[in-house]
Amino acid sequence: MTIRLGNPRLLAELREHFARSGFAVQTAGAAELTVSLPDAPDAEQGRREVGAHLLVWGVLHPEDPGEIVD
């Protein structure tokens, strides 16, 4: 899944947020990350996990909660 932030300066922090929880994370652009959960039992569960972690990010960073773009 690709996640986009409005503020590219927060990208490294978002990357670390997902990496700490075992997600595979790659930079996909100046303000985008590609995030997946390698050990998810299926793709849908992986999407739910990414979404849940993005919600946590949004609570911690209401100024730039990020958005899933695919």
pLDDT in tens, 7-66: 999 999 999 999 999 999 999 989 999 999 999 999 999 999 999 999 999 999 999 999
Asked whether residue 53 is assigned to any structural domain, the reply reads yes
Domain count across the chain: 1
Q: What is the pTM of this model?
A: 0.91
Asked whether residue 7 is assigned to any structural domain, the reply reads yes
Asked whether residue 12 is assigned to any structural domain, the reply reads yes
Which alpha helices (H) appear in 1-70, and where do they start and end? 11-19, 43-60
CA distance 1 to 25: 10
Asked whether residue 69 is assigned to any structural domain, the reply reads no
Give the domain extent around 12: 2-62
